[in-house]
Amino acid sequence: MRHESVEMLPKVVVIGGGTGLSVMLRGLKDKPLDITAIVTVADDGGSSGILRSELQIPPPGDIRNVLIALADVEPVLSRVLQYRFSSGNGLAGHNLGNLILAAMVDITGDFATAVKELSKVLAVRGRVLPAAGQAIVLKAETGDGRIIVGESNIPKARQSIKRVWIEPSDVKPLDEAIEAIREADAIVIGPGSLFTSIMPNLLVPQMSRTIVESAAMKVFICNVMTQPGETDGFSVSDHLEAIRRHIGHSLFDYVIVNNGEIPAQVLERYAEKGSAAVGLDLDRVREMGYDVITDRLVKYHTYLRHDADKLSRRIHELVDLWMRKR
């Protein structure tokens, strides 16, 4: 339990999307930190994609996952909010939490306000902000020159990705998101799908500029496994170089990577889906000017995931060290 007032806690902004971000936040919310999560609005698949298209709202799925991760509610309510209908005309495939968030948009008249109000209902620890108040279309150019439209279609193409960009290219981020970045003591980016969860946030022009200009400590959490059709064959340095190439700057002070052994049977199971462990070319990463933090950071149940407790402890230690140096 935290005794410090929120005003006295280090301000940490976490940026990304997807499952990896919500897993990390489940551990981070129990640390003495003032957390703001800025979440991608580029998703266009599944329930989120349908609601985005039919209701003309930003996709709610990634926001929903982060809200639940930071919520201070009973486990049964979390399960209800994550419930996905398996039958029913118009309901099959939809997630109940997505529908509730869509209803809140209709009630409040604004997506960002809907997220804020639902955060109050769920007693969210910290703030959850969409990267922008409107949906973003993500596009990619593959190595063979093809143009892929839509976040959900990019990994399906199973081609190397040369570059990604967003439309509209001049999308305006939320003022609250920019203010949070400017006031941050630390900015944490990742884990998550490099091109489809992390990049859409960094490609918002004012957001990337504000991150570059920030004096906050900047940390990158690298994925443990490559993602088929997105980061095939990538090493840690490949992730960092892709971000630098797109943004035009080397953003990070620290890079946190897993060096724990992954059981052979787990690697075999992932290999069947075209995924492999991200290459740990740590000497190259250090040559690029990054401080590297390594630890055994994974757990395996049905899927391989970051160990939320260990990862959040590492992040908190870095933030604490950074604050002491100031």
Find the farthest-apart pair of alpha carbons in the chain and give their distance in angstroms, rounded: 58
For the chain, residues with pLDDT lower than 50 are: 1-3
Measured distance CA(144)–CA(162) in Å, rounded: 9
Two tokens at 277? 């462990």
Measured distance CA(9)–CA(214) in Å, rounded: 18
Measured distance CA(140)–CA(156) in Å, rounded: 12
Contact 40, 62 (CB under 8 A): yes
- Which among 168, 56, 68 is positioned nearest to 121, based on CA atoms? 68
Question: What are the structural domain ranges in the chain?
Answer: 6-325
The residue behind tokens 């930003």 is: 58
3-class DSSP assignment, residue 65: helix
The per-residue pLDDT for 9 is 95
The per-residue pLDDT for 4 is 56
- Which among 223, 218, 219, 244 is positioned nearest to 234, based on CA atoms? 223
- CATH architecture of structural domain 6-325: 3-Layer(aba) Sandwich (3.40)
Measured distance CA(42)–CA(25) in Å, rounded: 20
- pTM, full prediction: 0.94
The CA-atom distances, in angstroms, between 148 and each of 51, 90, 111, 187, 276 are 21, 28, 27, 30, 24
Q: What are phi and psi of 31, to 5 degrees?
A: -90, 155
